[in-house]
Amino acid sequence: YYDGILKIEDIPNDIPFTKNASFQIKHHKSQQTYIDKIAIKEFIKSVKYPINFFDFETFQNSIPRFKYQKPFEQIPFQYSLHILHEDGTIIHKEFLGDEFSDPRVELIFQMVEDITKSGTIMAFNQSFEKTQIKNLANYFKKLVEHSNFRFEGKLNMSDELLRLLDRFIDLAYPFQSKAYYHPNFHGGYSIKTILPVLFPEDKELDYKNLNIQHGGIAMESFSNLYLIDDKSKREKIKNDLLEYCKLDTWAMVKIWEFLNKAIEK
């Protein structure tokens, strides 16, 4: 500051920085997009069809409402799933739990049924989704061992859930690794950071057009849903939740298509 360096543009080129910082400074100054086509091609090559673009929403309570729920434990109550087949066919599936009961058992069975038996499961920052699946597997195992819950004629869902984990690939990776970098990312790589940069004119991909615009609002909306007496208001909020989560996975589809086009240029 006292040397008159107030903006990135003021930083002299001879000041040493970390590799990551130097990269960001260089491309901020040049305002040029960086594309490592070889790295992106390798990433795309690792993905297998059908691609399951998947996203959870969770809520938490300070005082547990349900059996085998811990204080402030994240409980998945919703998911969106866009399935992209190799021929370009796209199918959308979704789940939103009942606000008055524990959504986990129904979510588990429907999720295992909805996700294709082969192909990649794609998430953006996959650690969140994978952690929730591990927690659901532990929950289901505990449910079977310590309650009267039975699943005659059904698969052991704990094992089925854990088998999903090895199929995950993180769509954030090409951006996190800076295989694709735009100066307007400003060093970030969250889906809400990169989406308006990649698709600045696409209103369909603008979260600002939704009543629920981020995960925190989704969490709060569902957490309080059971307290609302007016059914029409509850249905309105549930529809808003579905629209929000659907956009998360549709955005992933569009980002995937963008990366494929980027290496063709």
pLDDT in tens, 94-137: 999 999 999 999 999 999 999 999 999 999 999 999 999 999 99
- Write the pLDDT tens digit of every residue in 207-254: 999 999 999 999 999 999 999 999 999 999 999 999 999 999 999 999
Instruction: Band the pLDDT of 154: cuts 50, 70, 90.
Output: low
pLDDT confidence of residue 19: 58
Are 91 and 181 in a shared domain? yes
Same domain assignment for residues 116 and 232: yes
Say yes or no: 225 and 200 in one domain: yes
pLDDT of res. 199: 97
17 has a pLDDT exceeding 80: no
Instruction: Give, in order, the Cα–Cα distances in Å from 41 to each of 37, 175, 251, 263.
Output: 6, 13, 20, 7
- Asked if residue 182 and residue 139 are part of one domain, the reply reads yes
In this structure, the answer to whether residues 60 and 154 fall within a common structural domain is: yes
Distance CA 125, CA 219 (A): 18
Q: How far apart are CA 134 and CA 127, in angstroms?
A: 10
Residue 143: pLDDT band with limits 50, 70, 90: confident
For residue 183, give its domain range: 37-262
Q: In terms of domains, do 132 and 190 share one?
A: yes
Decide: helix, strand or coil at residue 12: coil
pLDDT tens digits, one per residue of 20-34: 665 565 555 556 788
- Residues 17 and 54 both lie in one domain: no
- Check residue 1 and give its pLDDT: 46
Q: Mean per-residue pLDDT for 146-157?
A: 67
Contact 155, 137 (CB under 8 A): no
pTM: 0.89
- Whether residue 183 has a cis bond before it, omega within 30° of 0: no
C-alpha separations of 61 from 200, 220, 224 in Å: 37, 10, 10
For position 22, what pLDDT does the model report? 56
In whole angstroms, how far apart are CA 127 and each of 45, 124, 255? 21, 9, 19
d(CA 76, CA 218) in angstroms, rounded, equals 11
* Closest alpha carbon to 111 in 81, 91, 138: 81
Same domain, 16 and 48: no
Domain CATH number, residue 68: 3.30.420
Average pLDDT of span 72-100: 97
If asked whether residues 77 and 158 sit together in one domain, one would say: yes
Residues 6+ apart with CB under 8 A from 54: 79, 80, 81, 115, 121, 122, 123, 129, 249
Residue 35 pLDDT exceeds 60:
yes
d(CA 51, CA 81) in angstroms, rounded, equals: 10
Domain count, the chain: 2
Is 176 found in the same domain as 52? yes
Contact residues for 141 (Cβ-Cβ < 8 A; gap 6+): 158
Non-local CB neighbours of 65 within 8 Å, separated by 6+ positions: 102
Q: Which of 167, 56, 148 is nearest to 108 (CA)?
A: 56
Same domain, 21 and 137: no
H helices of the chain, in order, are: 19-30, 37-45, 104-114, 126-146, 157-164, 173-176, 191-198, 215-223, 231-262
Q: Mark whether 4 and 81 lie in a shared domain.
A: no
Mean pLDDT, all residues of the chain: 90
Contact in structure between 240 and 211 (CB atoms under 8 Å): yes
